Amino acid sequence: MSKTYYDPADLRKFGNITEWNEELGNKFFDYYGKVFEEGALTAREKSLIALAVAHTEQCPYCIDAYTKDGLQRGITKEQMMEAVHVGAAIKSGATLVHGVQMMNKVNKLEM
Amino acid sequence: MKKSLLARNNDLANTERQLEILSNGIFANGELPTFAKKIKETNQFPLRPKKLEILQINLGYMCNQVCSHCHVDAGPDRKEIMTRDTMKQCLGVINKTGAHTLDLTGGAPEMNPNFRWFVEEAAKAGIKDFIVRSNLTIIRANKKYYNLPEFFKKYNIHVVSSMPHWTRGKTDKQRGDGVFDKSIKALQELNAVGYGMPGSNLKLDLVYNPSGAFLPGDQKALENDFKKALKDEFNIDFHDLFAITNLPISRFLDYLIASENYEDYMYSLVDAYNPAAVENVMCTNTLSVSWDGWLYDCDFNQMLNLKVASKVKHISDYNEELLQNRDIIINQHCYGCTAGAGSSCQGVVA
């Protein structure tokens, strides 16, 4: 068994998930490919969104993949970091906005 | 300034060592298919030349820059430059060749003291289509080069210039401190004589190489970025952008190994393999001549010292019929020309 949960080389094997369920695997990859095509959003904009989400999901495979993808598309490191901050802002905002729930509960329980 | 691999006595200055790396490891243990195996799958083996269109002549490995990705391992410490005698041998084949374009490269081809003489003589011999692969900074390197834009214009030379990024940081990191500012100045001077202007027949194209262990993105999207940034910030115009993949040889191979990116990079190249690109790789319509007159399928094979597989191996014995009847020599570095939309000295090929 591997001594770590994550192995960077596993990213190359992502396509292998079709081996144990070809139909669903293929449907996923078709969908995935379609999502990232140029559309109302440019492929570059989608790449930056993916990078931000990769960070909020804390997926090391996705971070590697979309950092490289961004570099290939000519996205600068400043743009990438701004995208990560967008993800971080939403993530921290999502935490903090729950503070209102906490405040509501405190206000309800306290005399 | 950094030194060339050769001046540093680096292991990879030895082309046999480079070929050993490219042939062994992940390609020997079957983890990745060799390039030969890959093109056999699509019945494209052996790779054969089509009509010869471009004679690419390397005027020498001397250069005023030491770029970190350079496949030539060029630099100021490289003294190998083409002599006038070898140039005369090249001129001697102009009337015998079907090639319509003379593509002059280096190093910095302009640093060869016989560069202008060679262009003038080639023009007299009937060449109308010239390409000069200029690193741009040479135009600002010394007073004797200041009038290069006028010289290029006189012979209607198609100028193809390296410009890895529209930002100073990325450009200087790859090509050396101060290169960006000098390149911008040189581009403005080329624009001033008419090069690269909309509608101008004085062609000015830029070459983009990724500044790291990743492949180039969509050529058109990158071109749009370059055009917008260079126009908005520096009022610079150019025609087309060629997105060229870095091939895993020489200084770029050294970088890949030192940064532990070699295997991942080779995987990226193999994953992005596109059989449609094989059809138009530049070795099928180009012949490469080294500074000392040897013949190669391409500039990359030249740098790996893989001479053409033909009885005719030197410009002094030039025989186009015999040369065209050859198999092109391939190795794993060829994946660099067939990844994604393909890569050549003219940009994408598929």
Question: Does any CB of chain B come closer than 8 Å to the CB of residue A74?
Answer: yes
State residue B53's pLDDT score. 95
pLDDT digits (tens, 9 = 90+) for A57-83: 999 999 999 999 999 999 999 999 999
Out of A12, A73, A76, the one facing B217 most closely (by C-beta) is A73
Question: Does any CB of chain B come closer than 8 Å to the CB of residue A81?
Answer: no
On the 0-12 / 13-18 / 19+ scale of CB atoms within 10 A, B261 is middle
Torsion of CA A58, A64, A69, A72, to 10 degrees: 140
Percent of chain A predicted with pLDDT > 90: 93
How much is the pTM? 0.92
Distances (CA, A) of B143 to A32, A36, A70, B75, B162: 56, 50, 40, 20, 21
Rounded Cα distance between B313 and B318, Å, is 8
> Is the CB of A73 less than 8 angstroms away from the CB of B212?
no
Distances (CA, A) of A92 to A56, A78, B156: 10, 21, 59
CA-nearest residue to A71 within chain B is B214
Interface of B with A (CB under 8 A): 165, 167, 170, 210, 212, 214-218, 221-222, 225, 267, 271
For B152, residues 6+ apart whose C-beta sits below 8 A from its C-beta are B132, B159, B190, B193, B195, B202
B54-58 and B295-296 beta bridge pairing: unpaired
Rounded Cα distance between B6 and B66, Å, is 12
User: Helix or strand or coil: residue A48?
Assistant: helix
If you count residue pairs, one on A and one on B, with CB atoms under 8 Å apart, how many are there? 26
Instruction: State the alpha helices, DSSP H only, in chain B.
Output: 15-23, 35-41, 84-94, 115-124, 148-154, 168-175, 179-192, 219-234, 250-258, 262-271, 275-278, 299-303, 320-324
> Is the CB of A74 less than 8 angstroms away from the CB of B222?
yes
Is ipTM > 0.85 here? no
Strand B241-243's sheet: what is its strand order? B241-243, B204-208, B158-162, B129-134, B101-105, B54-58, B286-289, B295-296
pLDDT digits (tens, 9 = 90+) for B128-172: 999 999 999 999 999 999 999 999 999 999 999 999 888 898 888
- Asked if pLDDT for residue B75 goes beyond 60, the answer is yes
Preceding peptide of B46 cis, ω within 30°: yes
